[in-house]
Structure 1
């Protein structure tokens, strides 16, 4: 996958374009790599990207002869992707290129029909819109990136870096990819299935009926709390408590408790060397098996994988 073409058409965001250019243009330091990437900027004309003026070296027709095509993020998803970009991306895919979108660049892939029947993602704020526009796509709002082989999509800005490093790993192996990540001062690699970390906040802001009981419960996450315990502390019936929880947190009391326990587990995995069994006990999840099940369901990766990434 030697030639990487960056599509510079439409109203682009500079971060994703710059990240892709930096990762694929600069070979890893102090490491002998054969056939590092040739990067070309492809677009119909010079385009202003944030405060920068980007002048492409080739037209969009060059995408069809590239090995990998990167479609950076668009700045406004309410504006349809330029037809010439959509046509060029479709032609590149038909010619056998590997197509990857970064953040809202997924809308161009959707317009080209490349997401139909495939797993896809984009920034969590726009996943609902992506799914609405392209109902044949399988949009997952909770992952960092998706890999369908020759069609890949990434979520928000940091996830764009993850996907680019993932592509380097596919082409050059994990050692080279980790060298690139180290140059960027990043964790070695975050698996694509890891969650985007945008679930319900730890404690809703403002003065509300559950403020006291939420704080009380968060101080006792290591204890076997039940709905009846929360209801008693709040001086409410379990049914009334459930209605209040749904109104304030959008979750049931048990869902909220499990979310807080998993988040506490994240903190311990990041900041301590405690065993998985000890973390399970400290968070009220009881056993390592239960912790792994709840953690994988909420975060998207096992606790061991999470620790390896974030302890770095």
Structure 2
């Protein structure tokens, strides 16, 4: 069995193992070196945040039995996609696919802030009153389904190798938990690292209640897209200890309940953070 065959054969345990390992490591790191003091504790937030992870995983499995990896295998079998049309070698297709999938996720993230109807789905991710490893997995099930549809379309259009899809999804899941971590990095290390990887201090700005900060630092893996496309913001105006996490509509702690979280997209309110509402410059 080749390495690629091994990855594809053991896809579910690889995904689960990576998720549990990174979650446990980040949770321990947060205990050892927290970046911010949390006013709302884990016992109040984690059951709902992890509960929605279970719902998302089950929903994707039942709705998309083959998901993006399966579509990649079909595309390869039928000769679909840009990489096949260009005759790209396997190693180049793998690297390019991971980079282009990351760009697609960045653009999708911007879209979910720019379109009010999509922001209603995405804002559940932002309504967490604290910022830690579980925030990185807190996404509304409808957003997860729509994201999967978009990802499947990109995978088919590119002719992405199946192993690249699996590696990217595992990497995206791991880096999302990392860059949502309530962890402290040395300032010099953070400054250097954020040239090649989105760091917790970089992404935390995106979870500020201030609209002009919410609409910045959209990247999950690679920081290049924010820098190249003008959405990069180095630091929050109030500092990391002083900034307010969350959004103004859902500051009541009862909104942290799982049932309340799932109903947030359907709540009737006229306040939002569409991309055009930037607020004052910091």
Structure 1 length normalisation: TM-score? 0.22
Structure number with the bigger relative contact order (C-alpha 8 A, sep ≥ 6) is 2
Kindly indicate which of the two structures has a greater share of residues assigned to helix: 2
Kindly indicate which of the two structures has a greater share of residues assigned to strand: 1
Q: Which has the larger radius of gyration?
A: 1
